[in-house]
């Protein structure tokens, strides 16, 4: 069975380096042929909305919109159900390709044979 990465990013503009590391690792893994599932939780939840990634800036880092586009094109992006609800985000608000799912789906992906879970 092929190895895969399940990456949960909990940080957004509140911790920009940690946030960018998660997106960078996800995009690099996909470019290397590794299947990736990126979970947006906490302050990273906002990046499930159109235009929000464009507001993010970190010197000497790849632009977040480019990383997100790459991940959406080749991987899976999921917004945490509870995080969405706390922010009044609905499925109608999301960027195309982002889904909403909860802890059971995260656990299912994270414990799948060959999966490696990372949390940023």
For residue 2, name the pLDDT band (cuts at 50, 70, 90).
confident
Please write the tens of the pLDDT for every residue from 66-88. 999 999 999 999 999 999 999 99
**pTM of the complete model beyond 0.85:** yes
pLDDT in tens, 24-62: 999 999 999 999 999 999 999 999 999 999 999 999 999
Whether 79 contacts 100, CB under 8 Å: yes
Q: Report pLDDT for 1.
A: 56
The per-residue pLDDT of the chain, averaged, comes to 97
Query: Alpha carbon of 36 to those of 4, 5, 74, 89, 116: distances in Å?
Result: 6, 5, 8, 23, 10
Contact 28, 60 (CB under 8 A): no
As a whole number of angstroms, the distance between CA 50 and CA 34 comes to 26
């Amino acid at each position: 069975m092929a190895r895969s990465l399940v990456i949960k990013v909990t940080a957004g503009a509140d911790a920009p380096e940690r946030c960018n590391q998660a997106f960078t690792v996800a995009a690099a893994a996909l470019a290397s042929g590794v299947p990736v599932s990126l979970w947006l939780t906490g302050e990273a939840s906002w990046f499930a909305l159109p235009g929000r990634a464009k507001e993010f800036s970190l010197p000497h880092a790849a632009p977040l919109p480019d990383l997100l586009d790459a991940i959406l094109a080749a991987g899976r992006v999921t917004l945490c159900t509870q995080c969405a609800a706390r922010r009044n985000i609905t499925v109608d608000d999301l960027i195309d390709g982002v889904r909403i799912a909860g802890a059971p789906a995260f656990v299912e992906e994270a414990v799948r044979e060959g999966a490696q879970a990372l949390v940023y």
